[in-house]
Structure 1
Amino acid sequence: MKKQKVLFVCLGNICRSPSAEAVMKGIIDKNGSGHLFEIDSAGVIAAHEGEPADARMKRHAIKRGYQLTSISRPVVPSVDFDYFDWVVAMDDQNVRDLTGMAPDEAARHKIVKMTDYARHMGYDEVPDPYYGGDAGFELVLDLLEDACQGLYDHVSRK
């Protein structure tokens, strides 16, 4: 299998996508397949560019053994759509935003939604926990653990 490059994308790249990056890296490490993957995250907006992940999200992730170490950056369409094999959006608005940024049809075909790979949880989107409480951050991690495992299984079969 050729190295698979996956970019996780949410709105500001401080809650959901850095968490997806950390969860996916955890799954990859557990399976000893780090040499087969490159994982990154970005946001559709640049409002938090240069900032670490949200402190609340980090706190909940640490409880599960995940370290959110990435620094927020915006999607760079001229680079990211060419470089990454998979552009994984957290919700329908992210899909619409990414589709609008995509430079061509080939790039649009790289856009998928995170919950399309969920195996057990019946959600259509990974909800943004930013304005909610602890339960929202826990739900995000539950969804990401399920869907990242599904994505890993799918990509690993290619």
Structure 2
Amino acid sequence: MKKRVLFVCLGNICRSPSAEAVFNSLLEEQGLENEVECDSAGTAAYHEGEPADGRMQSHAIRRGYRLTSISRPLDPIHDFDTFDYVIGMDDNNVWDLKKKARNLDDLRKIYKMTDFAKSKSYQSVPDPYYGGADGFELVLDILEDACQGLLNRIVRETQVESSAGQ
């Protein structure tokens, strides 16, 4: 059964589209793009319909990632019904997601991106929007670590589900 992941930040122009691009790159490397799919959204509609922040795109391109998503706000009904994982980038995103959750099933799908990081140096993915170049690089560093951890978890879960179904 295909797993679905939704990455969420505030405006859906820096962190969550970057997480989507990093995760898609890992899926392609592992040949899992038909097993897992992802998308991104924002808790606010400030940038709805816009491409990712140009600074974030520049830093991502240098690492081989293309940020192709267009900003959209979270749709609680559709997104909680569609996605298995709804992952906020920081505590505020997670809090906003929990406020939008309709029930316990929705709440069980909510995680923070750094929950999956092997390196526990950071408790969240900081918003680079008002900072300099170092902030965008830090976001990508954290996302590369956490996305690999997330993929490892999904692969383990899928193997357990496959064994249980046999």
The TM-score normalised by the length of structure 1 is 0.98
Contact kept in structure 2, 1:121 and 1:146, CA below 8 Å:
no
Residue in 2 that maps onto 1:49: 48
Distance in 2 separating the partners of 1:9 and 1:110: 12
1:85 alignment counterpart: 84
Structure 1: any 5+ residue segments left out of the alignment? Answer: none
- Alpha-carbon offset, residue 129 of structure 1: 0.1
The residue type equivalent to 1:89 in the other structure is: G
**Which SS does the other structure have where 1:95 is aligned?**
helix
Structure 2 counterpart SS, 1:125: coil
Flag the structure with larger Rg.
2
**Aligned residue runs from structure 1 range 34-73, under 5 A:** 34-73=33-72
Aligned-pair distance for 1:120? 2.1
CA contact (8 A) 1:88 1:114 kept: yes
- Per-residue deviation, residues 9-45 of structure 1 (Å, max 9, x unmatched): 0000000000000000000000001110111000000
Aligned length: 157
Task: Give the Cα–Cα distance (whole angstroms) in 2 for the partners of residues 121 and 34 of structure 1.
Answer: 27
Structure 1 contact 121–143 (Cα < 8 Å) conserved? no
Deviation string for 1:73-120 (max 9, x for gaps)?
Answer: 000001100110000110000000000001111001100010011112
Q: Distance in 2 between matches of 1:43 and 1:156?
A: 26
Q: Percent identity?
A: 61
Q: What is the aligned partner in structure 2 of residue 103 from structure 1? A: 102
Secondary structure, counterpart of 1:34 in structure 2: coil
Question: Which segments of structure 1 move beyond 2 Å, counting only runs of 4 or more?
Answer: none
Corresponding residue for residue 30 of structure 2? 31
2: CA distance, partners of 1:91 / 1:156: 24
Give the SS at the match of 1:35: coil
Q: In structure 2, the residue corresponding to 1:139 is in which secondary structure?
A: helix
Taking only aligned residues, the RMSD between alpha carbons, in angstroms, comes to 0.6
User: Corresponding residue for 2:74?
Assistant: 75
Within the alignment, does 1:148 sit opposite 2:147 as a pair?
yes
Contact kept, 8 Å, 1:28 with 1:34, in 2: the verdict is yes
For residue 12 of structure 2, what is the aligned residue in structure 1?
13
